[in-house]
Amino acid sequence: MGCLRRLLLGALLAAACAATAHADAVRVTVGYGQGADLYAIAVQLDRRAPLHQYARWTLTSHLDLGVSEFQGHRSSSHYNTTHALAVVPKLRWQRTATPAVTPFIEFGLGLSGFTETTIAGTRHLGGDFEFTELLRTGLSFGGRRQYEIALTGQHFSNGGLNHPNDGITYAGISLAWYFR
């Protein structure tokens, strides 16, 4: 099954499960980093009340539950494709809604579990469980700000708990749909 087909199937499955999980957004991300393509789907559990409201900006918190697939380019080994599950709590600093678009920046720090300890046949994680840091900046738009597009950077590493600790970092683009 091709990557795009799996990603679309995952997006449909995530959207179907999101209503029962009290989620209010589905996010699809594609990216590249250190010899591997990344394809990810996540549901976002949203907190309705802001943590703090400023005159022009709002601070909120969210939780992403996601599945990722890393496809390597430089290896023909059976470690060429690796999957990960991640739980990432995030803080979002977002401009108060404007007529056209609303800019935001997010930072997240979470945990992830990998199916293999080698990514793309060349990056050795040292363990199945990794820490992950996320930085995302973008724009929300639409009548209810129900769509968003963002640039994403994410790093996975065990923080030196296991050796080797190559980790992996990628940059990508994400699209989200807020259905609540």
pLDDT digits (tens, 9 = 90+) for 49-65: 788 888 889 999 999 99
Range name among 71-85, 111-125, 129-143, 163-177 with the lowest pLDDT average: 71-85
If pLDDT is split at 50, 70 and 90, which confidence band does 1 have? very low
- When the pLDDT of each residue in the chain is averaged and rounded to a whole number, the result is 85
Range name among 62-71, 74-83, 84-93, 165-174 with the lowest pLDDT average: 74-83
What is the C-alpha to C-alpha distance for residues 63 and 90, in angstroms, rounded to an integer? 6
Instruction: Tell which wins on pLDDT, 160 or 15.
Output: 160
The predicted pLDDT at position 101 comes to: 92
- To the nearest whole percent, how much of the chain has pLDDT over 70? 84
- Average of per-residue pLDDT across 32-44: 92
Phi, psi (5° rounding) for residue 129?
Answer: -105, 135
Cβ burial 98-133 (10 Å sphere, 16+ → b, else e): eeebbebebebebebebebbbbbbbbbbbbeebebe
Inform me whether the pLDDT recorded for 14 exceeds 90.
no
The predicted model scores a pTM of 0.84
Q: What is the 3-state secondary structure (H, E, C) of the chain?
A: CCHHHHHHHHHHHHHHHHCCCCCCEEEEEEEEECCEEEEEEEEEEECCCCCEECCCEEEEEEEEEEEEEEEECCCCCCCCEEEEEEEEEEEEEEECCCCCEEEEEEEEEEEEEECCCEECCCEECCCCEEEEEEEEEEEEECCCCCEEEEEEEEEEECCCCCCCCCCEEEEEEEEEEECC
**pLDDT tens digit sequence for 135-171:** 999 999 998 889 999 999 999 999 989 888 999 999 9
Range name among 19-23, 44-48, 138-142, 161-165 with the lowest pLDDT average: 19-23
Cα dist. 7→40, 85, 90, 169 in Å? 7, 15, 23, 20
Inform me whether the pLDDT recorded for 75 exceeds 60.
no
**Domains of the chain by start residue, with CATH:** 3-178 (2.40.160.20)
CB distance 25 to 41 below 8 Å = no
